[in-house]
Chain A
């Protein structure tokens, strides 16, 4: 196998050190929340700091200049960043995680994607559109919404449907360079406004065959197995929900941070006007919110560990990373995020009406979470049924 010589920026950087960097950045990220929301995208300064900290290389193969840390490390770093700024965390998580998606592509595409310096930040976009077959590849024209991170991306992975003779079209992902897409500003949301998850447009673009991979999130096939590390060769659905899950955890945890501060400083409105933290009810709220959050976090880290285990068992012991296991992990993350949502609801509804003001930070976290809970990966009822169907030998009704 051809070895690349892309240098790793900090050869001795440990996972623990990277998590600490994320934690150290939280306060600054909080201070920039409003500016990020107003800008409607991740701030250049924030992105530069993420690049410098090595966050985009967290699960990037060492061969291509990355740190190749494990998934629990990824989850902790993304959660810590999101705890400071959910929008910035979302952009980071949904681009920095995608070396694992790129791993399904042919080696040639990966070598091109990482280039000479290993700079790779790449959203992947669902809602596949039909593409045309041309000699040596495909011709693509169309658009995809919700392109989180399109501003700071080096590439995007867009989804397409390749026509098949006498059969349903084949869903695929296609790798597109930054210079080959344009951005249309159609992002106007109640929360997560700072992600700049706008529409990207491609016109008459030629995509060579080697820049195409199966849409593994949908079809469950693993790709080329370019890397020996089992983490790169698993199913992708549950991986994808782990990415969003890490952001949801951080967002709710950020609310708990503010709630802690609020209870220490704010007084009851009615007599006796004690501090909220002295009041029995608020002590109860805080304790329950803490427990919900800790269980939510624990479930997500466990899901990330289970994902790694399933990958390893497949690669090293030949035990299939089954569709059932993929959905089981998916469902586990969804239940975990529900606990975080519940904690957030309790915090928001008991913190006083002032925090519902448009520029209040606690209200912003709540709005951010309100958007996240509508994400298509968060529809737990659907996944629950599909998991059970697979478990009992029936075909699932939909990909998630």
Chain B
């Protein structure tokens, strides 16, 4: 074992702060919340966070949380990543969406691609950020020494500050039942379209489209995998390269962890805002008191906090279970099944749903002028959540039957006699 580690550490890029601990990283996110709150309106108008905020995120190490140590990352675990994103979202949900979906996919690169591609895309200084769009919205065609890519990928959240994108592609002229793949494409090969912002919310998420016209990538920048369901049945090359089973889990559970972290953070942001509203406003009718002293306003606070606590625990529990399932799978003790991935996703969808319920309640309880008028934070959170809820990944009832079917199918395969 030691020899593998030693061999693997020969071409290490040093992380900026080799001794950085997860707790310190989370603390940095908490400390940035004030600045994020202040910058919310400007971030919305801009469509993403500011270049200064990007530098602050970079300096704090947020882009390197899940990136392999070998390539300049901190290689912390998925729960740490989720906790950082919750804190950022509590400061600005849209900015968190943008950061999360630009920084999280280091995990997928480390998981899906070979050593050569990883050394190139993470290098030379280890700064890497990549929006991802898994739905195969464009094509890849064989060309001299590599692939030519064409297409437009919409909703590439996190793209404004991305060094690369990860995109699903249909492979033209290739055999197989479903010739699709995942490509990692450097920024020089694509254009970010100026088409983001005209939506009800999450306007700071930088979800522009990415266009490729004759984009050229080398052979090893494309892998023949379904981004939604890569083959992890025998571990992954990335997990072996980095000696870390985190890089051998399913993608649905991880993608949903990204989104649900943001959603849990929005809930706490709305709770903070609700508290400041009820501390400042008086009750309606004769004998007014400050709202925070009245049970009608205390009750929603308590209910919302309870829902958010449940959501936070569900989020961190699922993130931890992702780590555990991947560990057992790599250790050969228990395969990380497709149903495991769907199961994680479904629990995480309900975590987000709890947060939606909390935001709904708080939004409704805040007065029209404090919560619904343009420029108020509560209105922004409500709009952000409204936007997020249209995300197909969050529609638990659309996926619920898939989960059940997958589980039943796997059970029947394990016990063929039982399915008569």
Contact = CB atoms under 8 A, between A and B. Distances in A.
Interface of A: 145-146, 168, 188-191, 218, 269, 280-281, 284-285, 345, 348-353, 355-359, 363, 366-367, 370-371, 373-376, 378-379, 381-382, 385, 397-400
A170 to B, nearest CB: 12
Given A353-B390, A371-B372, A381-B296, A397 B382 contact: no
Given A190-B379, A370-B382, A398 B283 contact: yes
A44 to B, nearest CB: 25
Contacts of B199: 353, 356-358
A146 B369 CA distance: 10
B372 A381 contact: no
Contacts of B395: 349-350
Given A350-B395, A399-B284, 18 more contacts: A188-B373, A190-B372, A269-B135, A353-B155, A353-B387, A353-B392, A356-B199, A358-B200, A366-B200, A366-B386, A374-B364, A374-B372, A375-B368, A379-B364, A379-B365, A385-B295, A398-B285, A399-B285
B109 to A, nearest CB: 24
B366 A374 contact: yes
Nearest to A191: B372
Given A385-B296, A397-B296, A374 B285 contact: no
Contacts of A370: 363, 372, 382, 386
Contact of A358 (B198, B286, B295): B198
A190 B285 CA distance: 27
B367 interface: yes
Nearest to A384: B296
A375 B367 CA distance: 7
A193 B374 CA distance: 10
A355 B199 CA distance: 9
- Most chain-A CB neighbours within 10 Å: which of B299, B366, B369, B386? B386
B200 A281 contact: no
8 contacts: A269-B135, A353-B391, A358-B199, A370-B363, A373-B363, A379-B364, A381-B299, A397-B285
A163 B88 CA distance: 51
A191 B368 CA distance: 11
Contact of B201 (A269, A356, A381): A356
Contacts of A397: 283, 285, 296
B278 to A, nearest CB: 13
B401 interface: yes
Contacts of B398: 281, 350
Closest 7 CB pairs of A and B: A398-B285, A353-B390, A374-B372, A349-B389, A188-B374, A374-B368, A356-B200
Given A168-B286, A398-B285, A359 B198 contact: yes
Interface string B134-161: 0100000000000000000001000000
B238 interface: no
B395 to A, nearest CB: 6
A356 B387 contact: yes
A367 B200 contact: yes
Nearest to A367: B200
Contact of A190 (B299, B383, B391): B383
Interface in B330-346: none
A348 B395 CA distance: 11
A76 B130 CA distance: 53
Contacts of B300: 381
Contacts of B368: 146, 371, 374-376
B79 interface: no
A218 to B, nearest CB: 8
Nearest to A371: B372
A398 B284 CA distance: 6
Contacts of A284: 397
A269 B372 CA distance: 33
A168 B401 CA distance: 61
B371 interface: yes
Contacts of A358: 198-200
Contacts of A366: 200, 386
B369 to A, nearest CB: 7
Interface in B383-415: 383, 386-387, 389-392, 394-395, 397-398, 401
A366 B387 CA distance: 11
B203 to A, nearest CB: 10
Contacts of A348: 386, 389-390
Nearest to A193: B374
